[in-house]
């Protein structure tokens, strides 16, 4: 058996021994690749904003998944797997309660699965890991194709999203069983924003002063191609990277350490950590060393009841934070760097804003942001469940387990009634960002203590730290069917750390 000690020995980012690592609370679980390509200096490449996808008809979109290449590092081409030829994929802009159907056509050489992360989606469109979209070309069907557990296979697939949910930043990404991590790494991720009139009437910064920021780390070979330590003959990664794959280049919207010109005004930053395993603790620092407030207005599942001000903001894989930063106090020509306090060397830097001009600002941050957050009480819960997220053995290999078991699509792990309120106690050995499909939840406690300031609001992913136990509360409403919960360290997810959540 691979014990926790063994796993930790392999997995700490710092390479410390188990005892030292536990004592020092390693900031991350994973091992970092080293790029061979020359890396650009920080804050030179302009920040790209992903294109907004145009509907082919009201409420209807088409996305072709295909190989493409992009100039990510100046002067080099990086082959990618893409949605519509770009990384990130095109952004879908939706309105609450207005259903959209997205037809995905797979022109890649491997089967894929699309999941709308954070979507309240009927099960048949939620991207169950064996509901494959087969490659259109039909040349090389890849490993998953002959998997007897694959239940639905098609060449194109219509995903229908009712979007009967709170407005927020969602993201769509690949979710194929055993191969999600390399597929996202190669580029299969895009944004999906849900809006409504109530949110738009608040007067928050908007238009060019609202910026989606998809943060992801990658590593590059000398020729500009992405490095990923996949095994040749089965899912998973080489032993050194079992704990998670970290890159040494920080991309925002697909650009390395970019820079963006801003007015001296408030901006709404819609942050997503789309990294496989890297955690960030973000801060906004002026050239004279002053920290700007990060005023959080929203969480994974939409607006908070009231704003919460942070000096630094931890962001685990798959989490989203909706944050206002005010550049008004920064002199024209000044720079604000977004830094990651958990990084080292070049991974400490994320991106920068250059204040280009003074400008009028009629935006505001209302003291009351929303009044429709669920108010579940512990006493509403009809049951309490506990799950341990730990290293272990699966099929004779190192893996990551929930309650001692690796993912099995044929097994029922949780069966719950539509509308039931439950408390879940999640216990971790190392860092595990835990995500529930379908249901937003609230964080009740961390190791018996009150939640952290950034645990506020309605979430769909919660970051467990080493040795921690976190209680969440949720109501399983929306749709009946088979969903998932899993660790969103994408390597852990591929190596077993996923379970079925069946709503009846």
Residues near ligand C2O (CB under 6 A) are 115, 117, 173, 175, 318, 435, 437, 484, 486, 488
Nearest Cα to Cα of residue 187 among 306, 264, 79, 91: 79
CB of 478 to ligand C2O, least distance (A): 15
Instruction: Give 117 or 270: the residue with its C-beta nearer to ligand C2O.
Output: 117
Cis preceding-peptide flag for 88 (omega within 30 of 0): yes
Q: In three state form, how does the secondary structure of 159-201 look?
A: EEECCCCCCCEEEEEECCCCCHHHHHHCCCEEEEEEECHHHHC
Instruction: Give 260 or 432: the residue with its C-beta nearer to Cu ion.
Output: 432
* Residue 432 near which of ligand C2O, Cu ion, none (CB within 5-8 Å, type-dependent): Cu ion
> Which residues have C-beta within 8 Å of that of residue 293, sequence separation ≥ 6?
309, 310, 311, 325, 326
Q: Contact at 8 Å (CB) between 217 and 248?
A: yes
Phi first, then psi: give them for residue 69, nearest 5 degrees.
Answer: -130, 155
Q: Which residues would be at the binding site for Cu ion (CB under 5 A)?
A: 117, 432, 437, 487, 489, 492
* Residue 176 near which of ligand C2O, Cu ion, none (CB within 5-8 Å, type-dependent): none
CB of 316 to ligand C2O, least distance (A): 12
**Tokens 């969903």, residue?**
483
CB of 338 to Cu ion, least distance (A): 25
Instruction: Give 253 or 370: the residue with its C-beta nearer to ligand C2O.
Output: 253
* Residue 29 near which of Cu ion, ligand C2O, none (CB within 5-8 Å, type-dependent): none
Phi first, then psi: give them for residue 91, nearest 5 degrees.
Answer: -85, 135
* Residue 279 near which of ligand C2O, Cu ion, none (CB within 5-8 Å, type-dependent): none
CB of 485 to ligand C2O, least distance (A): 8
Instruction: Give 117 or 176: the residue with its C-beta nearer to ligand C2O.
Output: 117
Instruction: Give 73 or 191: the residue with its C-beta nearer to ligand C2O.
Output: 191
Q: In three state form, how does the secondary structure of 455-478 look?
A: HCCCECEEEECCCCEEEEEEECCC
CB of 288 to Cu ion, least distance (A): 39
Q: Contact at 8 Å (CB) between 459 and 296?
A: no
* Residue 487 near which of ligand C2O, Cu ion, none (CB within 5-8 Å, type-dependent): Cu ion
Q: How many CB atoms lie within 10 A of CB 189?
A: 24
CB of 167 to Cu ion, least distance (A): 17
* Residue 318 near which of Cu ion, ligand C2O, none (CB within 5-8 Å, type-dependent): ligand C2O
CB of 367 to Cu ion, least distance (A): 31
* Residue 484 near which of Cu ion, ligand C2O, none (CB within 5-8 Å, type-dependent): ligand C2O
Instruction: Give 21 or 188: the residue with its C-beta nearer to ligand C2O.
Output: 188
CB of 159 to Cu ion, least distance (A): 13
Q: Contact at 8 Å (CB) between 302 and 168?
A: yes
Instruction: Give 432 or 454: the residue with its C-beta nearer to Cu ion.
Output: 432
How would DSSP label each residue in 85-148? TBSSEEEEEEETT--EEEEEEE-SSS-B-EEEET----GGGS--TTEEE--SS-S--TGGGG-T
CA distance 382 to 476: 11
How would DSSP label each residue in 20-82? HHHHH--S-BSEE----SPPPPSS-SBPP-PPBPPPSBTTEEEEEEEEEEE--STT--EEEEE
* Residue 492 near which of Cu ion, ligand C2O, none (CB within 5-8 Å, type-dependent): Cu ion
* Residue 175 near which of Cu ion, ligand C2O, none (CB within 5-8 Å, type-dependent): ligand C2O
Instruction: Give 166 or 486: the residue with its C-beta nearer to ligand C2O.
Output: 486
Instruction: Give 330 or 484: the residue with its C-beta nearer to ligand C2O.
Output: 484
CB of 63 to ligand C2O, least distance (A): 17
End-to-end Cα, the chain, rounded Å? 36
Cβ-closest position to ligand C2O: 117
């Amino acid at each position: 058996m691979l014990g926790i000690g063994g796993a930790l020995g392999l997995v700490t980012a710092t390479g410390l021994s188990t005892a030292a690592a536990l004592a020092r609370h390693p900031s991350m679980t994973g091992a970092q690749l080293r790029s061979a390509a020359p890396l650009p200096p920080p804050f030179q490449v302009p920040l790209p904003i992903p294109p907004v996808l145009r509907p082919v008809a009201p409420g209807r979109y088409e996305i072709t998944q295909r190989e493409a290449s992009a100039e990510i590092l100046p002067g080099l081409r990086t082959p990618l797997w893409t949605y519509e030829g770009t990384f990130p994929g095109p952004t879908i802009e939706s309105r609450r309660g207005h259903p959209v159907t997205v037809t995905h056509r797979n022109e890649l050489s491997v089967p894929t699965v699309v999941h709308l992360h954070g979507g309240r989606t009927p099960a048949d469109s939620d991207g169950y890991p064996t509901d494959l979209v087969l490659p259109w070309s039909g040349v090389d069907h890849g490993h998953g194709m002959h998997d007897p557990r694959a239940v639905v296979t098609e060449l194109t697939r219509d995903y229908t999203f009712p979007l009967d949910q709170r407005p927020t930043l969602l993201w769509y990404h690949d979710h194929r069983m055993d191969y999600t991590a390399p597929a996202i790494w190669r580029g299969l991720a895009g944004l999906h924003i849900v809006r409504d009139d109530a949110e738009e009437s608040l007067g928050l910064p908007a238009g060019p002063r609202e910026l989606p920021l998809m943060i992801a780390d990658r590593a590059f070979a000398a020729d500009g191609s992405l490095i990923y330590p996949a095994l040749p003959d089965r899912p998973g990664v080489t032993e050194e990277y079992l704990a998670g794959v970290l890159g040494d280049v920080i991309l925002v919207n697909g650009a390395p350490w970019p820079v963006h010109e801003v007015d001296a005004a408030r901006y709404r930053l819609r942050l997503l950590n789309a990294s496989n395993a890297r955690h960030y603790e973000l801060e906004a620092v002026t050239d004279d060393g002053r920290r700007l407030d990060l005023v959080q207005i929203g969480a994974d599942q939409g607006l908070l009841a009231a704003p919460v001000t942070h000096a630094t903001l931890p962001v685990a894989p798959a989490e989203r934070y909706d944050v206002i930063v005010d550049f008004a106090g920064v002199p024209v020509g000044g720079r604000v760097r977004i830094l990651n306090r958990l990084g080292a060397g070049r991974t400490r830097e994320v991106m920068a804003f250059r204040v280009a001009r003074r400008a009028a600002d009629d935006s505001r941050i209302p003291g009351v942001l929303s009044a429709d957050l669920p108010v579940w009480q512990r006493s509403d819960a009809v049951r309490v469940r506990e799950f341990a997220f730990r290293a272990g053995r699966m099929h004779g290999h190192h893996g990551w387990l929930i309650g001692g078991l690796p993912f099995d699509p044929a097994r029922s792990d949780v069966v719950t009634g539509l509308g039931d309120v439950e408390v879940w106690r999640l216990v971790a050995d190392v860092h595990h960002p835990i995500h529930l499909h379908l249901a937003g939840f609230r964080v009740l406690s961390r190791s018996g203590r009150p939640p952290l300031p950034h645990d506020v609001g309605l979430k769909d992913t919660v970051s467990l730290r080493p040795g921690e136990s976190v209680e969440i509360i949720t109501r399983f409403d929306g749709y009946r069917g088979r969903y998932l919960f899993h660790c969103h360290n994408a390597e852990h997810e591929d190596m077993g750390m996923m379970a079925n959540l069946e709503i009846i």
